[in-house]
Structure 1
Amino acid sequence: MLDLLVTNATLPDGRTHMAVAVQDGRIVEVAECLQAPAAETLDAGGLLLSPPFVDVHFHMDATLTYGMPRVNASGTLLEGIALWGELKPSLTADAIIERALTYCDWAVAQGLLAIRSHVDTSDPRLLAVEALLEVKKRVAPYIDLQLVAFPQDGVLRTPGGAASLQRALDMGVDVVGGIPHFERTMAEGAASVKLLCEIAAERGLPVDMHCDESDDPHSRHIETLAFETQRLGLQGRVTGSHLTSMHSMDNYYASKLIALMAEAQVHVASNPCVNITLQGRFDTYPKRRGMTRVPELMAAGLTVAFGQDDMLDPWYSLGCADMLDVASMGLHVAHMTSQSAMRQCFEAITTNPARILQLEGYGIAKSCHADFVLLQARDPVEALRLKATRLKVFKRGKLLAQTPARTAALNLPGRPDKTSLMVGR
């Protein structure tokens, strides 16, 4: 007997009337109209059964600190970094852990079951590193949490920055990070990219580096990252995050750069909600959008994913762990409103980030982990339009969270008595 059988499901690739059979935490069969005895049967009612959402880029050590010690008045990246620097001396491990666990509760409720979080290594106490390593252990039964050693104040700019980052890796942090555009000079930024990639190559670790998170069209750190990726044989293991300077580059140079990135098999993490909030702050009109060239990067064959980046912290005052909200912002800003492009945006919060995080057993296919979300929508585009309710969230075939269907009662003459905002329902 099966542990769980989900019937009458629609899958993101468009297949309908599909059944998903689960045994011992794995999917053992995906077939049309499959019938089999099961301890539990769930009729999906034709709704969308998706693999769980994945956040490729987040800062869990800072989440839920909005207004501490004060609000970011200018709304700029630099003031956010300054505020975080003011807050760090008063942080405690217990407070970081509690805020992060609260965020993870929200994530599970929203069907977000895998997160790559950057953790600040600039504080020699490595308080945040210790805290998030503890969080990683606690949430392991329900969230795949990857940690990136992130020298927020610059690995070269900070006294002992490289040593602190190496200690964080020794403690068990998974990925090498960096922030070259925050070093004192462009040359120091390039040197930091070289150093950090060499550390990753020596340790056999992936790289995920904040690159060119500015409006400066002459920022060139992603170019250096692509070069170092090839020099050190790191193809497929390196992610360039943000890349917002690409929105200001001239088209000739951008076309050359995208080709170099594709050659180096560099992945891309774009953060639509935060990128368009922090960038363009020094513009009058017209104001730049502040997001990297997502459709062009996808068209060149790069793996591009969307991240939440921040939530209720010194950089961003909104958010609720909703990756559909992130993807919706991305498709609007990038003008990705065709049916195929909107589906690409759905993939940017599911299959694409799963590929970047190298998640084992991800997807809805035979032998994959039985991790999936039943959405109150009939396809990925409708899910994006509605920010669809996560009706049920499963991990290894076990129900983690459920939310009642969204239905509004109506009292209108001659009209139906309720609506779900779904076309035809």
Structure 2
Amino acid sequence: MDLVIRDASILQQGELVTVDIGIQGATVAAISRALTVDAPELKAAGCLVVPGMIETHIHLDKTCILDRCRIEEGTVAEAVRETAAAKRSFTIEDVYARGKRTLERCIAQGTMRMRSHVELDPGIGMTGFEAVEALARDYAWAIDLELCVFPQEGLTNYPGTEELLIEGLRRGARAVGAAPYFDSDPRGQIDRIFAIARDFDAEIDMHLDLAESTEGMQVEYVCRKTEEFGWGGRVAVGHVTQMSLLPPDRFAEIATQLANAGVAVTILPATDLHLMGRSHDHAVPRGVVPAEPLRKAGVTCSISTNNVLNPFTPYGDGSLIRMANLYANVCQVSRPADLAGCLDMITVSAARLMRLTDYGIRVGGPADLVGLDARDPAEAIATLAQPLWGIKRGRASFTRSRPQLHPPGLQHRRSCQA
């Protein structure tokens, strides 16, 4: 063995167990309650160990641009407008440098898989794509990063955009996205995205139904197209803030459609809280879709970051634990099983959304592990547990020390004087 992790608390078949994990090369070679082997050791000391966390929906190409944009209205339209103006001056070097800052934050917070949405249109060309492609290559030692190309500013109404999406898929993007609410023909865009995905055998990951009313919802149409194309299990929709405004019976009806069609939902709490409800001066809607009834209906759900330090979301530190905790606060999640479900939505369920077959802590699986400063999944979310260390493909990818308190005393005074 190259490494043994001692006294790790892990989930096995829904139960917490304390085990030793043996690692050989890039693979988990053994899991045992008492592993007898002579090898270097990492003492987990009963901390919760989870497979590397998964960011299913983030935008590395337009991160960290607050110094170039104004936020006065705080609306979706303003965010798109300000970002569109800023991105005209993006360069590959600029996108790479900004994306690197956010990517490194994510890695240090325990993220080991990621899907980054990248805008393609004639105004930006392939600049963002090439920069994020380079980040994926340069940081492959710490994270598996896949690209999802999408048309933020419209498709049917923006000639030349479709050709760029196709170029991105030809160059290795695994997924194609959409933002039909900014297209003059929303369903026309959805139709084209499904056709392109079929032509390239690509995953579909849409920005959908981001609005403050229930008018013009497209989620049911996406479910119908998913069934028509036989793309069940390969389609995800992010935001769907309009669903949060529905009465329970109508919500349950759509939840059943999503489950039957095999359409997953990604919840983006920081962005949706920031953007939604701007037209209200009281009883402001949160705009965050509750995952618990969706999950009970059989819908695959993930929680993700979306944007960091830009007009869509003017904050963020790359922590998926923080996103899951924020979601739990907003949606009043308190039962231990539901809090544990929040951790599941940034690990196992997120892996299912991205159709990752090589995921999880098991013998023969990848040695992609994160140690959390918590005893169990519910505590990890409730206390914003810090990731203490990460192992990617069998080698250390980051470490973080626990804070130390320094109570008054002779020894402390002497150490400071030294």
Q: TM-score range, shorter-chain basis?
A: over 0.9
Show the counterpart of 1:181: 181
Show the counterpart of 2:144: 144
Whether 1:33 and 2:34 are equivalent positions in the alignment is yes
Select which of 186, 203, 208 maps to 1:206: 203
CA deviations over 1:33-76 (Å, ceiling 9, x no partner): 222222x11121111111111111101101111221x3312211
**Structure 2: distance between partners of 1:221 and 1:338:** 32
Whether 1:222 and 2:219 are equivalent positions in the alignment is yes
Show the counterpart of 2:158: 158
Select which of 347, 350, 353 maps to 2:347: 350
**Structure 2: distance between partners of 1:262 and 1:119:** 27
Shift of 1:403: 0.8
Whether contact under 8 Å (1:113, 1:142) holds in the other structure is yes
Q: Flag structure 1 segments of 5+ consecutive residues without an equivalent.
A: 418-425
Whether contact under 8 Å (1:16, 1:46) holds in the other structure is no
- Secondary structure of the residue aligned to 1:10 is strand
**Structure 2: distance between partners of 1:46 and 1:233:** 44
How do 1:48-127 residues align onto structure 2 when only pairs under 5 Å count?
A: 48-68=48-68, 70-123=69-122, 125-127=125-127
Task: Compare 137-146 and 365-374 and name the one that shifted more.
Answer: 137-146
Shift of 1:325: 0.4
Task: Say if 1:17 and 1:259 are closer, same or farther in 2 by CA, change over 3 A.
Answer: closer
**Structure 1: distance between partners of 2:226 and 2:93:** 37
Whether contact under 8 Å (1:246, 1:293) holds in the other structure is no
- Secondary structure of the residue aligned to 1:15 is strand
- Secondary structure of the residue aligned to 1:54 is strand
**Structure 1: distance between partners of 2:306 and 2:369:** 23
How do 1:22-421 residues align onto structure 2 when only pairs under 5 Å count?
A: 22-38=23-39, 40-68=40-68, 70-123=69-122, 125-184=125-184, 188-411=185-408
CA deviations over 1:280-309 (Å, ceiling 9, x no partner): 111121110101131111110111000100
Shift of 1:115: 1.1
Task: Compare 143-152 and 158-167 and name the one that shifted more.
Answer: 158-167
**Structure 1: distance between partners of 2:388 and 2:105:** 14
Whether contact under 8 Å (1:133, 1:172) holds in the other structure is no
The residue type paired with residue 151 of structure 1 is P
Task: Compare 318-327 and 25-34 and name the one that shifted more.
Answer: 25-34
**Structure 1: distance between partners of 2:32 and 2:104:** 32
Identity of aligned residues (%): 26
Show the counterpart of 1:421: none
- Secondary structure of the residue aligned to 1:67 is helix
- Secondary structure of the residue aligned to 2:10 is coil
The residue type paired with residue 212 of structure 1 is D
- Secondary structure of the residue aligned to 2:177 is strand
The residue type paired with residue 318 of structure 2 is A
Shift of 1:32: 1.3
Whether 1:3 and 2:2 are equivalent positions in the alignment is yes
- Secondary structure of the residue aligned to 2:17 is coil
- Secondary structure of the residue aligned to 1:16 is strand
Shift of 1:82: 0.5
Show the counterpart of 1:422: none
Whether contact under 8 Å (2:388, 2:401) holds in the other structure is yes
The residue type paired with residue 228 of structure 2 is R
The residue type paired with residue 334 of structure 1 is C
Shift of 1:411: 4.8
**Structure 1: distance between partners of 2:167 and 2:407:** 59
CA deviations over 1:76-119 (Å, ceiling 9, x no partner): 11111000111011111101011112222111211111111110
| RMSD of aligned alpha carbons | 1.6
How many pairs does the alignment contain?
407
Task: Compare 354-363 and 284-293 and name the one that shifted more.
Answer: 354-363
Shift of 1:14: 4.3
Whether contact under 8 Å (1:382, 1:388) holds in the other structure is yes
Shift of 1:255: 2.2
Shift of 1:216: 2.0
TM-score (norm 2): 0.94
- Secondary structure of the residue aligned to 2:202 is coil
**Structure 2: distance between partners of 1:85 and 1:17:** 50
**Structure 2: distance between partners of 1:165 and 1:370:** 34
Show the counterpart of 1:423: none
**Structure 2: distance between partners of 1:106 and 1:228:** 37
TM-score (norm 1): 0.92
The residue type paired with residue 211 of structure 2 is S
- Secondary structure of the residue aligned to 2:57 is strand
**Structure 1: distance between partners of 2:45 and 2:218:** 49
Whether contact under 8 Å (1:389, 1:406) holds in the other structure is no
**Structure 1: distance between partners of 2:355 and 2:141:** 18
**Structure 2: distance between partners of 1:23 and 1:53:** 21
**Structure 1: distance between partners of 2:241 and 2:342:** 18
